[in-house]
Amino acid sequence: MPVAETLYSVWNMALTAGLLGLLVLFFMLQKQPDKIVRLRVDSEDEQGKTAVDKSHQTPSDRIENSRWPTLFMGLLAAGYLLNKVVVQGFSINLNTIILVFLALGLLLHQNPASYLHAAEKAVHAARGIIIQFPLYAGIAGMMTSAGLVTQFSEAIISFATPATFPLLTFLSAGAVNFFIPSGGGQWAIQGPIMMEAAAALGLIRRKPSWRSPGEMAGPIRSSPSGRFRCWV
Give tens-digit pLDDT for 113-131.
999 899 889 888 888 788 8
Question: Alpha-carbon distance 125 to 121, whole Å?
Answer: 10
Give the model's pLDDT for residue 39.
59
pLDDT bucket at 74, cuts 50 / 70 / 90: very high
Q: How far apart are CA 144 and CA 148, in angstroms?
A: 6
pLDDT over threshold 70, residue 55: no
Which residue would you say has higher pLDDT here, 85 or 184? 85
Report pLDDT for 71.
93
Of 95 and 172, the structure prediction assigns the larger pLDDT to 95
What count of Cα atoms within 13 Å lies in the side-chain half-sphere of residue 167? 7
pLDDT at 232 exceeding the cut of 60: no
- pLDDT tens for 196-230 read 777 777 776 554 555 555 555 555 444 443 433 33
Position 224 scores a pLDDT of 41
User: What is the reported pTM?
Assistant: 0.57
Asked if residue 173 has pLDDT above 70, the reply is yes
Residue 190: pLDDT over 80: no
pLDDT exceeds 50 at position 106: yes
